A and B are shown apart, each in its own frame.
Chain A
Amino acid sequence: MKSTSPRLHRRMYALVVAGLVVAAAAGTVSASRSSHAAAGSGNWTTFGYSFDETRNVPFTQIAKSNLNSLGRIFTVDMHKIDPTIPFGEETTPLAINGTLYVTTPFDHVFAINGVTGKVKWHFKPSAIGPFKNFGLNTNRGVAYGAGKLYLLTLDMRIISINAKTGKLAKQVYIYKSIKQARPEFGYYETMAPVFYKNRLLIGSSGADNGVRGFFMAYTPDLKPAWSSPHWNVPPEGQDWRRFGRFHGGGASWMSPGIDTQTDTVYFTSSNPSPDFFASLRPGTNPKVDSLIAVDLKTGKERWWRQQLTKDEWDYDTVQPPLIYDANVKGKTRRVVSVATKEGVWFAYDAKTGAPIYERVKVVDRVEHPALKKGKPVTIYPSALGGVNYSPGSYDPNLNYAFEATVESASVLIQAKSASQVDKARVRGDVDTGAINGFGTTPKGRHDYGGVTAIDLNTGKLAWKTKTPEPERGGVTTTATGIAFVGGGDGVLRAFDSKTGKLLWHFQTGAQIASAPTIYTVGSKEYLAIPIGGTFTSSFGGVATKLMVFGLGGSKKQFKQPRLHPAGGSAPTRQTGIQYLTFGNAPHTYNLVLQAAAGPAGGGLNFNGFNRGGMTVSVPVGAKIEVTFKNLAVESPHSAMVTATAAIKKVQGQNPVFQGSATARPHAGITSGTQYFSFVASKAGKYAIICGIAGHAIGGQWDYFNVTKKGSKPTIKLGGKTYVVTKAGAKLVQ
């Protein structure tokens, strides 16, 4: 995780992919493209192009030889069309008979002419007012079948839409058939479902909230197709869930893969909760962090394999599993493969689940020592790293599997005791078991990304390349030997699938957290990529657009988006002495104020401290250069140095020194960084507050003392006082 407010970000991440499928075509597939519903049609009809999720298209117009003429054909700005749509994109568009079907945050769906970019229709679910008060907004795509699109909504609805007209066909609440699957219990939907042979296949998010993970099938008219869901973990209060309150997990929050030869559905299950406190869920927690195979028709389990036992680092198995015939040590085998957030890759016999390759490292660093109660432990990758929701690809010509990766790290501080975890634990809340949420980025750390190719014949890496920012989108490969990947730096890249050589790149102007969709209309081949990313993808969440490329398109590129600051995120609470440092000029000090840094005060804090828990002291006449960051994303915050009496006011506070507040402190910012500076011109005791109405009186205040001239600057954090010197800070009491 990159910065803070980790719980929210985690929820946003916990989502992913989805796929669409053309239902009617099942059983009519060609041998060469065995599981694509409409082989040769030029369509992209399910999340992973084909039901086997291999994202390998047979189209040949875009080739290595003509990449220099690949350019932008059109852009659709969905936020501009409807400004109520939040920024961000993690979706995979479908392309069916020349129409693109694209989802956005808040579960809007657009039908767009795939050649011209003209919007055909725009669907918005009914009664989505409450979404604006949710902590996340992601949607990863729709499924297609029997002339309808199938959409899952944040508030746990399944909606079918007439694909031609965009009109609502039907909607049902999932809790009608799965009683506990309600948003207030911690469940939510972001995945793209998959539709195959009259089965709409869905899971849900919510593992970090302690839900009971499930996977389920519905009929085209949205009735249960299985007698009961496949439950990935025991019922509440049974087996290992007997040992704590409302702990669970094992959610299936990404699209499944389907072996159309055997009608086997493969889906993944995520981490157990509490994420970082394993002793409250003793044992191996079977079927979490797992790959599970079930019968398409009945949901009956065929086999399962757990990729990580005793997980205490939040290393879900989450990406959609890939199914294919591979050459393994000279023999053709039916394989199902999957990579995990731990940053390792597995391949199994698709029929039996027998391991073929295990724990093949696809990231640079896999180190995750046992967590220690109340002590910081650094892990690689972070809970948001490795191979997260980003889908992989398989190229049958090369016999390579591809993964887009996130090279990340985080510092985790496990709770001090089980009672601390369970104290005031209620159903539905985030359940990490750490006192710093999902962890914080180590000082000076800058996460990056990569693309990895694995040779199925040997189980070893064929090549591996680095990218400057985490790769959250995923890989799509072509029959012409190209691997397209969109990066957190906004760059869409084309690699040589065989060698990893960068062949082409295009700056889209916004972070990318989606994988490309490739389709044809008539004789022309197109590549569609949603851009905008998420806050967790290199400070994304800045646009909600669809960009479509083709040969002969414009080569004019866009300005690079604002990226995560070099040097990693702000210091953690444990290195809090870094909050106050000497500036470059005499009598100047740098002060870092992070709003909503962790759970203290329910987020109403600076640097993790509230109600006077932090005291900053500087000598009179000092110039203070403040870097203010709001880590809450969804809640506005600001910073102001003001009179201490202001902490008892609901609103209307004013800066006590000229310039001692962020711009528009009563409105605040919902994310990002602001800077302000002022001279502490008068000695006295003051307060640092948030200027948003109700925040100061709610506890979001600390002390700011201006002491006599010549005194040493200090910072007091939770009872410990540090003297700040040019060489660093020193604990004095």
Chain B
Amino acid sequence: MVLLPHIEGARLRPGALFLVSALGAAVLAGCGGGKSASPTTTAARPPHPVQACPRSPRNGAALAVRTLYPIQEWRLASDNQTLVHGCLRLNGKPVSGARLSVEDFELPDPTGSDGGFDYTLDNTVPNRYRVFVREVRDAKVAGRSATQGEQKELRHAQSSLNVYFELSDLRAKARSGGIVVSGRAEFTNTKAPPAVVLYSYRLSGKILDASGRPIRRAVVSTRSVDGNLWTVSPPSAADGSYDSIFYPSGDADPVGFNVRVAVGDALYSIRNRELVFFPKLKSASLDFKLPRRGLLLAPVDPKTHPGAVYEGVLIGVARDGRPIRPVSARWADKKGRFEFVLPPSARGERVTFWESQLYAFSRTPAVPGEPVDLAGYPSRLAADVPSDLATVRLPG
């Protein structure tokens, strides 16, 4: 066993076999490299509410705010939110009168005389929220109006709030095929996150016009015969491809669905056929060619393929903001324990952990504790994926 030489942001549990240096979130979040105001081994579980602003760099604009918020299990006798307190500073001086946003939510009050702002954060579901400066026209730096240059600098200040399942018992072991990383994800009450589960099936294909040119922004919808279940695909891409969830479930096999293709207000249906029949509980592909005239499509039959869409928490590491594709990975088991194997090229790298509430297509059944189909492994981190959750230097 090789101990992880340096882990930041993870929670130290009694009996853990590695060294931990749990530095504050501000360090990880790009507020400038200062140390956390609460350098404890449970730094990732801040007191509630957090009253003080983390330190920020002496130079430049900074949104100093704690970035890590472990998920608390929902409680009835709680508003299930935590108060976030942060500060906007420029060259270490407080900036008042600036308007901030958290995603699309515009904080109702401008920053105070100490540069401070408050936000109530839902800390019961995983998410990453971007915090940024929206308006600085009335901003003052240490009590005086910000210059145009300062305003420009302030507009670039941003940070993030990451709500995530706490990581514990993190371990790394070098072996010939790479580096085995393992650990456990958990609520603050140590319960395991919800396990991976079958979420839906997949319907995909291409939509072309009569000349074979791809149709953009077309929508494929399915509706069960009883009218109780329907799905709508995202608009088709420039190459005419669409990718949708759908649910060929029910008592019948095959299962009949009303399938339609909408382009704007025009709705195409299938000629001489009320329903398209899909083999039960299978993903399928279905291509369409729109007619030159009218709204009737030529009959189509689905082609099935193995796999389904699964929902689960996937944990991985990133280097320079890009996920490192593992050699293999396992879904967290019912106790929240996960494991993945990084390629040998990752040896000695400084990497950061991320967690994704993933809705991933998997060719094989996704089962807690069993392998992840890497075909659906993310090649980039979506904006809402909690990341920079802990920093480690992998064994060399």
Contacts and interface: CB of A to CB of B under 8 A. Distances in A.
Nearest to B224: A602
A692 B274 CA distance: 7
A575 interface: no
Interface stretch (B38-46, B87-95, B227-235, B372-380): B227-235
A367 interface: no
Contacts of B200: 426-428
B260 A130 contact: yes
A257 to B, nearest CB: 22
Interface in A597-648: 599-604, 610, 632-636
A602 B252 contact: yes
A429 interface: yes
Nearest to B253: A699
Contact of B105 (A227, A601, A697): A227
A204 to B, nearest CB: 16
Contacts of A126: 264-265
Contacts of B267: 129-130, 132-133
Between A227, A231, A694, the greatest number of chain B beta carbons within 10 A of the residue's beta carbon is seen for A227
Nearest to A631: B226
Interface in B35-89: 73-76, 79-81
A419 B227 CA distance: 24
Contact of A227 (B121, B225, B245, B277): B121
Interface centre among A129, A177, A183 (most CB of B within 10 A): A129
A134 B81 contact: no
20 contacts: A127-B262, A129-B262, A133-B223, A133-B230, A135-B224, A177-B105, A179-B384, A183-B232, A424-B249, A426-B200, A427-B199, A427-B247, A429-B229, A601-B225, A603-B224, A603-B225, A635-B227, A650-B273, A694-B256, A695-B274
Nearest to B101: A223
B193 A127 contact: no
A434 to B, nearest CB: 13
B79 A698 contact: no
Interface in A571-586: none
B249 A426 contact: yes
Nearest to A633: B227
A112 B222 CA distance: 35
Nearest to A426: B247
A610 B256 CA distance: 13
A364 interface: no
- Report, nearest first, the 5 A-B pairs whose CB atoms are least far apart: A237-B194, A129-B262, A135-B227, A603-B225, A603-B226
B96 interface: no
> Interface size bucket, A side?
35 or more
Given A133-B223, A133-B267, A234-B74, A599 B251 contact: yes
A694 B231 contact: no
Interface in B184-219: 193-194, 197-200, 219
Contacts of B232: 130, 155, 183-184
Nearest to B258: A133
B225 A635 contact: yes
Given A130-B232, A428-B229, A603-B226, 18 more contacts: A130-B219, A134-B221, A134-B223, A135-B227, A176-B104, A179-B384, A184-B231, A228-B122, A300-B79, A426-B249, A428-B247, A601-B250, A602-B226, A602-B252, A632-B225, A636-B274, A693-B273, A694-B274
A177 B102 CA distance: 11
A426 B274 contact: no
Interface of A (DSSP majority class): loop
Interface stretch (A3-11, A47-55, A400-408): A3-11
A135 B230 contact: yes
Contacts of A155: 232
B125 interface: yes
Nearest to A222: B104
A635 B221 contact: no
Given A130-B267, A228-B122, A698-B275, A604 B262 contact: no
A225 B232 CA distance: 28
A88 interface: no
Interface in A643-682: 650-651
Given A5-B226, A599-B251, A698 B194 contact: no
B125 A235 contact: yes
B105 A430 contact: no
A695 B275 contact: yes
Given A228-B120, A239-B73, A602-B252, A129 B229 contact: no
Given A127-B265, A429-B228, A699-B252, A635 B125 contact: no
B279 interface: no
B104 A130 contact: no
B74 to A, nearest CB: 4
B358 interface: no
Most central of A128, A179, A297, A427 by chain B CB within 10 Å? A427
Nearest to A432: B228
B265 A635 contact: no
Contacts of A333: none
B106 interface: yes
Interface-central residue, A132, A300, A430, A651, by most chain B CB under 10 Å: A132
A184 B245 contact: yes
